[in-house]
Structure 1
Amino acid sequence: MMLKKYARNGSSIDSSGTAYFGAWEPDFRAGKGINQYDYFLKTVNNAMAVQDINGDGVEDVLIPSGIIWMQGESDADKTELVANQYYANLKRLMELMRATFRNNDLPIVIGKISDSGDDVDGKVWDFGELVQYGQEKFAATESNVAIVRSTNGYKYSDKYHYKSDGYIDLGKEFAKAVFLLNKKKSQ
């Protein structure tokens, strides 16, 4: 099994939510004209171009088993409009990612964002509930999608990041969900 990670902390899907970290919106052309989606494509293409991963002289075949997505905070802290568009933006991006792997039913597991509450008004992500709604809607309406909700019980190391045990649990929950979606698909 191979796990290929590509991430950019602080990035939003909607380019209107972009601060310093870029956007996943495929049409976003600020800065150098490369967005996070373009970097994702480059990462996937580089990974898929390796023909002998373990160097044993036999060509290996990579078969993607799923997409794991933990993102949304940067779409939840800008404007109500950006947060309200989260479902549509997530749906489009996941469709494009599935198309990259040539599998329109590739399992997708979404990590539901949570909020430490460590802010004057008790909410770090002012529009977090709207993004959470978009995540839940995506998981409920799209095929072969699961959502990890255990994030709501995680402790924080600062106002933005989970403590290590939360990340460990999140990884386990992601793995379990991808496994179950693949198992269900093969039955």
Structure 2
Amino acid sequence: MNRTALTFITLLLPLFGICQKIERDSIRVFYLGGQSNMSGFGKNSELPDSITSNFNNVWIFQGNPAPDENESGGLGIWTEITPGHGWKFTSNGKENNLSEYFGVELSFAKKIREYYPNEKIAIIKYCRGGISIDSLAAGKWGSLEPDYRGTNGINQYDHFLRTVRLAFDDRDIDNDGIEDYLIPSGIIWMQGESDAGFTEEIANRYYENLIRLMNLVRAAFHQDDLPIVIGKISDSGNNKEGKVWKHGEIVQYAQEKYVRTDQNAVIVRSTEGYNYHDAYHYNSAGYIDLGEKFAEAIYLLNKK
């Protein structure tokens, strides 16, 4: 049979219901977002062996945490999860520069694998220390307010969108030759300290700002009821004036109000009992516990 005839028959096969089955892997994907307590100041050197090994079938795509005006924001690659995705992590989109720190991603991955032992797990992470929701609290770190444009029109929300887009553009995240189908399964959000550290007016806007942003994050994953777990901000009290976050109680109230008014959101409150690495960030044990609490909460929401 000549090549022309073979091509013609191949084109006709779908018309007669004779189609080649396309093999795909379904992978649950969770988004981790926020500011520095999502980035993580846990020390890799303090990780127990139970957290650093046996991460079978868990991958992570972390977007480069760049300033608002930096065009490298959101660049990343899919890799097997490993320590080093905390503070000072960077990526140029071709290789990752792992740091000496970790965040909640390790214990989260470990715990979520216990809940879904027969499934592949993927984590998308974009966060940057100090970023706010309200543009008036952007400071030098940046803002997630979509309409905040800074000097050249690129902000933290743009970096988030780029992270998600690049993560989903890769059709084979584990490089096994089989197309991957990512199933959005939850948003984990740890942020609010910056919005609590400026003025009372900014803190009072946090509830409405959080509603808007979470709706937009859900929309980025094309699921308007995607489960959300909020990490409640806390205060070390390690400041000359006592409190670190001047209006922390207002933001905490807004977070509690949000989960009361959104039927597919819950809050993790264990943060109030953690010890600190410094005045602003939890210690290693805190991040390990927080990751586990996040995994349990998002699993129960999905189960519901």
TM-score bracket, shorter-length normalisation: over 0.9
Identify the residue that residue 134 of structure 1 maps to in structure 2.
Answer: 254
User: Among 14, 24, 35, which residue is 2:134 paired with?
Assistant: 14
Q: Greater RCO between the two (CA within 8 Å, min separation 6)? A: 2
Match of 1:49 in 2: 169
Aligned with residue 302 of structure 2, among 163, 177, 182? 182
Aligned runs of 1:28-177 on 2, under 5 Å? Answer: 28-177=148-297
Task: Give a deviation string over 1:83-103, Cα, whole Å, max 9, x none.
Answer: 000000000000001011111
Shift of 1:122: 1.1
| SS of residue paired to 1:160 | coil
Determine the C-alpha separation between the residues in 2 that align with 1:34 and 1:173. 33
CA distance in 2, matches of 1:31, 1:172: 39
| Greater Rg by CA | 2
Residues in 2 aligned to 1:158 and 1:8: alpha-carbon distance in whole angstroms:
17
| Offset of residue 64 of structure 1 | 1.1
5+ unaligned residues in a row in structure 1: which ranges?
none
Alpha-carbon offset, residue 143 of structure 1? 2.1
1:96-147, CA deviations, whole angstroms, 9 ceiling, x for partnerless residues?
0101111111000000000000112211000000000110000110121010
Amino acid across the alignment from 1:6:
Y
Q: Partner amino acid for 1:107?
A: P
2:123: which partner in 1?
3
Aligned-partner SS, 1:34: coil
- Equivalent position amino acid for 1:110 in 2: I
Could you tell me how far apart the structure 1 residues matched to 2:214 and 2:297 are?
17
Distance 1:61 1:15 in 2: 35
TM-superposed deviation, 1:34 = 1.1
2: CA distance between counterparts of 1:111 and 1:34? 27
Q: How far apart, CA to CA, are the structure 1 residues paired with 2:225 and 2:138?
A: 29
**Which structure shows the bigger proportion of residues in strand conformation?**
2
In terms of mean alpha carbon deviation, does 158-167 or 30-39 score higher?
A: 30-39
1:60 counterpart letter in structure 2? D
Measure the CA separation in 1 of the matches of 2:133 and 2:233: 14
Distance 1:32 1:54 in 2: 35
1:31 deviation in Å?
3.2
Measure, in 1, the Cα distance between the counterparts of 2:263 and 2:160. Answer: 22
**What is the CA-CA distance between 1:54 and the residue it aligns to?**
1.6
Give the distance between the partners of 2:133 and 2:241, measured in 1 at CA: 25
TM-score, scaled to structure 1: 0.96
AA of the residue aligned to 2:230? I
Residue 25 of structure 1 is matched in structure 2 by: 145
Matched pairs, number:
184
After TM superposition, where is structure 1 displaced by more than 3 Å over at least 4 residues in a row? none
In the alignment, the residues of structure 1 paired with residue 203 and residue 268 of structure 2 have an alpha-carbon distance, to the nearest angstrom, of 19
